[in-house]
Amino acid sequence: MLKELIARLRQGYRTTPYPLAPPVLPDRFRGRPELNPAACRPDCRVCALACPTGAIRVDGDQPILDMGRCLFCADCACHCPSGALRFTGEHRLAVWARGDLIVQQPQPEPAGPPEDGRLQLYRRALKLRQVSAGGCNACEADVNVLTTIAFDLGRFGIQIVASPRHADGLLITGPVTENMKLALEKTYLAVPPPRLVIAVGACAISGGPYADHPEVHNGAVGILPVDLFIPGCPPHPLTILDGLLRLKTPKEHGQP
């Protein structure tokens, strides 16, 4: 027993201090994309052609990127001949409205949190039922890791629960396959109102790389009323945590 206590003291405090301190992210982390239309070459469509999910389109000479479809693979930035597109280290990607996932210049003012009073109910505790609606398990893994000692999701009063009847809302991952559509709808109805719906990852927002497949419903957006969108493929655990904290303290965790 003494050896275990000594080993624990040597390990020290293992939980990340985030959000009280800035996060430490790896150099290869790809965060919010940044566009510089002034650097674009006329009639250049290289970035749009390189994107595997059609997340980029060019309107005139202005590139427009949809983070809801983006896989953050950076193929667009690698192929851009003028460096007009790059991925920053900004991890705060969650937004309240689907339209705010569109990155363009100039960037419109983002929407604020819902004003229907629901968020006031979850300041002390927030319980979520996670639904994997046909995902590849990448987003699911990054949600699960938030419950480990490194992130300790419970210290914020947020808990992943087993039953939708014990939940305040749904956290959805995956593109919503045909086999999961009815199960998702039944799970949503089993959550006592008022309910929250969070779409995590490109698949849950737009279908991701599986978009427009005959057995996929292109995410939860057309099926359920989504309150919070957390893009990525998969989103970093800190990106997901930042989004969840917006539900608890929307004023303190505003838009990036």
Q: Is 171 a domain residue? A: yes
How far is 1 from 70, CA to CA, in rounded Å?
50
**pLDDT tens string 190-249:** 999 999 999 999 999 999 999 999 999 999 998 999 999 999 999 999 999 999 999 887
**pLDDT tens string 65-80:** 999 999 999 998 888 8
**pLDDT tens string 102-145:** 998 888 888 888 887 888 888 889 999 999 999 899 999 999 99
Instruction: Note the helical H segments in the chain.
Output: 2-11, 46-50, 75-79, 138-144, 178-190, 202-206, 237-248
Q: Is 234 a domain residue? A: yes
Residue 255 scores a pLDDT above 50: no
- Please state the pTM of the whole predicted model: 0.91
pLDDT band at 256; cut points 50, 70, 90: very low
When divided into structural domains, the chain yields a total of 2
Q: 165 and 65: one domain?
A: no
**pLDDT tens string 18-27:** 999 999 898 8
Q: 130 and 205: one domain?
A: yes
**pLDDT tens string 139-176:** 999 999 999 999 999 999 999 999 999 999 999 999 99
CATH code (residue 191): 3.40.50.12280
Q: 79 and 155: one domain?
A: no
Q: 65 and 156: one domain?
A: no
CATH code (residue 42): 3.30.70.20
The DSSP result for 25-80, as a single string, is --TT---SEEE-GGGPPTT--HHHHH-TT--EEEETTEEEEETTT-----HHHHH-
- Domain that residue 127 falls in: 118-248
Residue 253 scores a pLDDT above 80: no
Q: Is 10 a domain residue? A: no
Q: 161 and 241: one domain?
A: yes
Q: 160 and 225: one domain?
A: yes
